[in-house]
Each structure stands twice: as C-alpha cells, then as structure tokens.
Amino acid sequence: MLRLSKLSDYGTVIMAHMARDPARLYSASEIAAALGVGLATVTKLLKMFLREGLLVSQRGVHGGYALARAPTSISLAQIIDAVEGPLGMTECCVTAGLCGQEPGCAVRGNWQRINRVIRDALEGVSLAEFAQPEFVPIDVAAIRSRHPMETLTCQAKQ
C-alpha cells in the first residue's frame, strides 16, 4: 500500500491551515492547539518547512511563522519533499545505483514512469487548492448497490 507518513500528513494539514490566512504570523503553540497536533510535532515540521524555504520566521514577542510565498505557488509535492525527501516509488526512482538489480531490471522504466505521473499530480495541486474544503456529493445509489441487504432491512423497518 502506498501511504504518506503521518508526519507528511500532519505537514499538509499545518500548511493548509496557514494557507487560509497566508499573511498572518502563526506561533507553533497556536497551530498545535488549533489542529490538535502535538506541539513537538508542529515545531519539528515548522523547522523542516523553514529550512526548505516554504516558511519564513520572525523572532520576538509578536513573532511566528508565515508562508514564504503565496499558497498558489507552493505545491503539495514541495510540502511532501520537505518532510520525506524526494518522492520515489522505488529507490531507483530517486537515485540511480542504489539497487543491485538495477542494471538488468525489466521494470525500472515502468516504475520511473509511474513515479513521474504521481509527482506531476502532486506538483499540479497548489497549497491554495488543497486548503479549500471540497464538497463531494454522496452517491446514495452506489452505497445501496454495495449493501443491498442493509437497504432492504432499513426499508422494512419504515
């Protein structure tokens, strides 16, 4: 199963939170309280984003962290890269020469192609887009078709 680490997931949540008011300065404790994420985790992620140039910081009583650029110019791929390092479905998608099977591997090119597609998809989603809640209508008919017995039971009770 392909899955982002919990740290990357929290990182996207933090950055989306900040993108909703991008001109504002945020303290680590304020973000932690607003999102219900541990202060140590928030602090760790803010430092990662600062180091990668996604955030800027201001010291002092009224200091904090802010986005370094407009949310429209920060991609989801950049956020994930800041936490995880370069995206790679397999080792050879990131750095050549790490796998002993690489010289004769028949599927390396396919993994690299898949890696590019996923990378392009993440590059194509800006933080501004990601920060917006998305309304997804529920397809009740599809749910009923997956659970026909439950539907019949619910109808019989009515």
Q: What is the pTM of this model?
A: 0.79
Q: Report the pLDDT averaged over residues 100-104.
A: 80
Helices and strands: H and E segment counts in the chain? 9, 2
What percentage of the chain carries pLDDT values higher than 90? 58
Q: Angle, to 10 degrees, between the axis of helix 6-19 and the axis of helix 39-51?
A: 80
Cα dihedral angle (67, 73, 77, 79), rounded to 10 degrees?
0
For the segment 142-152, what is each residue's pLDDT rounded down to a tens digit? 767 765 555 44
Structure-token pair, residue 35: 């999102």
- At 157 the pLDDT is 47
Average pLDDT over residues 130-151: 70
Domain 6-85+126-130 bears CATH identifier 1.10.10.10? yes
